Amino acid sequence: MNTIRKTIALFALATTLVAFHANASSPIDPRSDAARQYTLNAYVNALSSGDVSGIDNLFDADVKFDIKGDKKQFSFGKKEMIEFLKTTKNVVQQDCKTTFDWVDNNGSDVAVAKITQKYPEFTRTNYVTMVSNGSDWKITHVQTLFN
């Protein structure tokens, strides 16, 4: 009887460990809200507090950043934006309130978010387009406006 109890306990422990390992090692479903949210949060953290860990993986190879000023529009690619963001690595929190909302996040392979950074003298708004490539979400376009 003691042997049967030990066998059942060992089997239960082994089953629990296998199930835990399977859940711990499986990636986030790339089409899930959590995967989209992770990509957006990482970008927001890079913008507002200089947390650039993993920033190289957030952007599509052909990502385009458009920044509209009063009279000019500037465009940058992935390399230039990553270089800029890395210069802000671990900066003190910016003097702004950062919020974001999903403009379109309907479960498809494309999502658009609006990030608003309200500074004392102006507001910076970023419209971020993200696309799922089946394995993760990549930022493909960011349009920045200043008011």
The contacts of residue 132 (CB under 8 Å, 6+ apart) are: 30, 31, 35, 36, 109, 110
How confident is the model over 72-92, as pLDDT tens digits?
Answer: 899 999 999 888 888 888 776
Mean pLDDT, to the nearest integer, of 22-46?
71
Distances (CA, A) of 38 to 57, 80, 117, 141: 12, 23, 19, 17
For residues 86 and 25, which has the higher predicted lDDT (pLDDT)? 86
Contact 45, 93 (CB under 8 A): no
Query: Phi-psi category of 134—alpha, beta or left, where left has phi over 0 and alpha has psi -120 to 50?
Result: left
For residues 20 and 76, which has the higher predicted lDDT (pLDDT)? 76
Asked if residue 23 has pLDDT above 70, the reply is: no
Distances (CA, A) of 117 to 39, 43, 50: 18, 13, 14
Q: 54 in helix, strand or coil?
A: coil
Cross-strand bridge partners of residue 100: 115
* Separation of first and last alpha carbons in the chain: 77
Mean pLDDT, to the nearest integer, of 6-14?
35
User: In this structure, what token pair is assigned to residue 46?
Assistant: 């890079």
Asked if residue 5 has pLDDT above 80, the reply is: no
Instruction: Assess if CATH 3.10.450.50 describes domain 29-146.
Output: yes
pLDDT score for 67? 93
pLDDT score for 7? 36
pLDDT score for 134? 81
Q: What is the pLDDT confidence band of residue 33, given thresholds at 50, 70 and 90?
A: confident
* Residue ranges per structural domain of the chain: 29-146
How confident is the model over 105-138, as pLDDT tens digits?
Answer: 776 789 999 999 999 999 999 999 999 988 889 9
Asked if residue 21 has pLDDT above 60, the reply is: no
